[in-house]
Amino acid sequence: MPDAVAAKLVAATPAGWHTHVVEADTDSFGDGAQSPSEESLREIADAEVYLGFGMPKSLFVAAKQIRWVHTGTAGVASLLFPELVASDVILTNSLIYGPTIAEHVLAGVLQLLRGLDVAGALQRRGVWDAAPFATDETMLRELCECRVLVVGAGGIGAEVASRFAALGATVVGSRRRLGAGAPTGFSRLFPLSEIDAELPHADIVVLAAPLTPETRQVLTAARLALLPRGAIVCNVSRGALVEEPALIEALRSGHLRGAVLDVFAQEPLERESPLWALPQVVITPHISGVSTRKFWDRLSVLFLENWAGYREGRPMRNVVDRATGY
């Protein structure tokens, strides 16, 4: 946490409260550190409110007075261990990553649609050759001729849809609660149970749904085979949404044009993974939500608003439904 943000939180501490900012090193990527520091374990003992990136089970068990946990992550699957689920502790998450992740997805997809992966390989070899850009394998396309299927029409999915639609793509998406209506950018929503009928028409698939029992392995080998040749798969949710070996095979065989992957079945991605050697794969280390200037502003505003709501007994934003997992 930047010093300026820590100072802002301390300065906003109301009378009768004390804010302790942990100085020990930690991990703010993915689901956060899974081994708490000694300082965290010591300070959590009498804490009523916790703000961090995820919360290790051992830290929660040590938090005897905790009443509210706010995670700086969007996903909460790693937090839904039995002790927290069975408690009456309020759990809120940070649904503030939509704009950043949507731009990451758009950047990766455009790289593949315009063959910039091929251009990069030629540049590194010092080769001037236009021929590869006219092949079926590279398949240069415009967004206006693409149909984008977004799995998860929540905050991140909605931001993805608005950006692709603004550039001329047709966007459809799956959503658990269809009654909530379609966010801007979606031409149509459908229940996840109907995804098999949608995949054959999708040029681009974006996985933006939280990891739940329903979405785990939502892209199986059978479903990857339903995609048209030349499709692009993007995963900015959790690695477990994809059957990773099947994805690798679909890329190796040329069935898929490429993939934009920010999350993986195992993180860090092991050095032996075949994904590293596939030039048509854009790999990033779970950083699609990183926004150096904007993230901390958004997080501090959300947390301080919820802190006020917590103290005053008002409704809080982003309260996680333990039953659905988000």
* Residue 98 identity: G
Tell me, yes or no, if 267 is annotated catalytic.
yes
Widest pairwise Cα distance in the chain: 70
Q: Which is catalytic among the residues 141, 249, 267, 298?
A: 267
Tell me, yes or no, if 238 is annotated catalytic.
yes
Residue with tokens 């415009």: 142
Tell me, yes or no, if 214 is annotated catalytic.
no
Q: Is 231 in contact with 206 (CB distance < 8 Å)?
A: no
Q: Which is catalytic among the residues 70, 238, 244, 257?
A: 238
Distance CA 176, CA 153 (A): 9
Q: Which is catalytic among the residues 70, 104, 147, 286?
A: 286
Token couple for 299: 């997080």
Residues classed as catalytic: 238, 267, 286
